[in-house]
A and B are shown apart, each in its own frame.
Chain A
Amino acid sequence: MLSILSEGFILGLSTGFYCLTSCLPALVPYLLSEGDKVWKTNFDIFLEFLSGRFIAYFLFAVVSTLIGKAYKPYLPHWVAPLAMLLTAIAMLAFLFTSRGGHPGKGCAMQFSPFYKRIPLALGFMTGINVCPPFIAAFVRLVELSDMTAGMFYFTGFFTATSILILPAIAPTPFMNDRLKNIGRMTLAIAGVWYLLLGIKGLAAAL
């Protein structure tokens, strides 16, 4: 199992750059808008985001193994655009429900804090957002068709790609109100972008 774990780790390390490009447009604007000068706050956000990704990867490991066992090594075309659309909805919903963190200024709807786990949701949805290294991992898991091996493989893959995402929290200690406002605007732009591509992708897939 150690060799499977390291295989996933090496794949993540060598191709993680692509994961970076699909995760950062979701993570960085959120970190800028909700981060703090305190490292711990930013790290908590980062960990929550990673947890979301881990859940997604875990789920994917299970699904890939099942697919492998069923001898249907392909994914539905609507998975990636749906993930994009959900990412967009999460981003825009967050913006509409918490305007700059000032109570009373945002949307009138009140949500339980449980439902406001935005980094977790973003992490999950970027996790299921199929990117090239993910497909490489998927193909390998379909071939393995072993649940335990799949878990180890994706744990290695997840750990390596997380190392590459870590620098995203580096600039957050310089946070101030102005930067937070910039982060919120970035989040809005990224939300609209994902929304457009999600709708376009779904329309083409369905």
Chain B
Amino acid sequence: MKIHVKSYLTDRENFLPAVAFCVAVFGPVAFFSRRITGVGLNAFYPAAWSAFTALAAFFIFYTRRVSFYRRIFFSGLALSFLVHFKLSLLSKIFDSSCFKDTPFCHIAIASSFFNYMYQQYLALMSGDWRLWGPLSLAFAWLFFTLVIGRAWCSWACFYGGIDDGLSSLPKKALVKTGALAGKFRDFPAALLIFLLLISLAYMLPVYCLWLCPLKMTSAFLDPGDALIRKVQLGLMLFALVILLAGPLLTKKRTFCSFLCPFGAWQAFWGRLNPFRVVVDEGKCNACWECFDSCPMFAIRAGHDGKPEVSAYCNLCGECLAACPSGGLRYSVFGMKVGDVKTGFGRLLNPESFLVFSALVTGGTFGALFAPAALKDIFDILLRIATSY
């Protein structure tokens, strides 16, 4: 390990470009984080979060280990969400009645999209659209989709961060998932179609009320019906098991692959985004290391017997790290552009553009809860320290 560290630190050709890259990421994340957190929170917390994001950028660029450092950032983002959200529930900051309307969560955008459209229609008809606009949320989603597309699921989603972090913990998969992947990989698409229709039918965010594992608390359950409450609790528990136990047993992102409607939604709309992972036919020797390493079951056999990257790819970079011959790379619309190996020229590679876009998006989105989570942790530690 010492040798590695030494060799990294002596890689002078990439040090300054990595610093430049780090500063380029820090700037917008710090600006937006401060804007998002506002004056209610000490400036230290958004600055710390921005520094964390920028450090991830530095190490990704400097070491070229995209997936490894991405995962650290991504898991940090997810953990901070869990901390803040769950602590908020304990302190009753969240009003459970807000979940009777469609919540402003990216998972809900997909499954309640028709509801948003209908509500926006009503808002437009009432002439009050500027005060209340789910359409603005749709624009935000469209913007992020154009910027990072499917990469959202591996760089910014708090569900994904939990699934991804846990899937990296076991050394070996205890349960093989090959057959399951083929049969049920499209299940999220089926769930999405059902949820779109049924959420509209009942004018309720059905996914959030019935299946969201992060809301595992009785506050959101149907108070009027014991049977429905039990079913809701059972389904949430099932989703929680898929989210937590699934990745630990299979080393795959089971929740994202088999239960997340937003994953299916983004797989469809993500085609709008230019970033892709492509197989270099000349370098690929069909060893299928990428297939085994892909946590999203997004690599399948192509017509020529070589791997083919499907629309479910989240651009996490795991396959790039696993390929022994360097046969996979990030690209823009599959074109072979910008493959500079060292120096400042690397800043113009598709990989750098993707990592920059993804980290700025993830960092900005994370600013909604990560700085507050840092404060929560700091407050708890302070309370513990002062109590002794």
- A residues lining the B interface (CB < 8 Å): 21-22, 24-25, 28-29, 32, 178, 181-186, 188-190, 193, 196, 200, 203
Contact = CB atoms under 8 A, between A and B. Distances in A.
Contact of B197 (A21, A188, A203): A21
A20 B81 CA distance: 37
B201 to A, nearest CB: 4
Contacts of B197: 21, 24-25, 28, 190
B201 A24 contact: yes
Interface residues of B, number: 16
Contacts of A24: 197, 200-201
Given A22-B201, A25-B201, A196-B231, A182 B194 contact: no
B198 A185 contact: no
17 contacts: A21-B197, A21-B201, A22-B201, A28-B193, A28-B197, A29-B194, A183-B190, A183-B193, A185-B186, A185-B187, A185-B191, A189-B191, A190-B194, A190-B198, A196-B231, A200-B228, A203-B227
A105 to B, nearest CB: 13
A181 B186 contact: yes
A172 to B, nearest CB: 13
Interface in B185-209: 186-187, 189-191, 193-194, 197-198, 200-202
Contacts of B189: 182
Majority DSSP secondary structure for residues of A touching B: helix
B304 interface: no
B95 interface: no
Judged by DSSP, the binding face of B is helix
B71 to A, nearest CB: 30
A188 B194 CA distance: 10
Contacts of B186: 178, 181-182, 185
Nearest to A204: B225
Contacts of B187: 185
Interface in B160-219: 186-187, 189-191, 193-194, 197-198, 200-202
Interface of B: 186-187, 189-191, 193-194, 197-198, 200-202, 225, 227-228, 231
Nearest 8 interchain pairs by C-beta: A185-B190, A21-B201, A186-B190, A25-B197, A189-B194, A186-B193, A182-B189, A182-B190
Contacts of A21: 197, 200-202
Nearest to B184: A185
Contacts of B228: 200
Contact of A193 (B193, B198, B227): B198
Contacts of A32: 193
Contacts of B227: 200, 203
B36 to A, nearest CB: 36
Nearest to B231: A196
Contacts of A181: 186
A193 B200 contact: no
Contacts of A28: 193, 197
A185 B227 CA distance: 24
Nearest to B190: A185
Contacts of B201: 21-22, 24-25
Given A24-B201, A182-B186, A182-B189, A193 B194 contact: yes
A22 B198 CA distance: 8
Nearest to B195: A189
Nearest to B227: A200
A22 B200 CA distance: 9
Contacts of A203: 227
Nearest to B199: A21
Contacts of A190: 194, 197-198
Contacts of B194: 25, 29, 186, 189-190, 193
Contacts of B225: 200
A181 B188 CA distance: 12
Nearest to A27: B197
Contacts of B193: 28-29, 32, 182-183, 186
Contacts of A188: 190
Contacts of A178: 186
A181 B189 CA distance: 10
B69 to A, nearest CB: 35
A193 B193 CA distance: 13
Given A25-B201, A203-B227, 18 more contacts: A21-B200, A21-B201, A21-B202, A22-B201, A24-B197, A25-B197, A32-B193, A178-B186, A182-B189, A182-B190, A185-B187, A185-B190, A185-B191, A186-B191, A189-B191, A190-B197, A193-B194, A196-B231
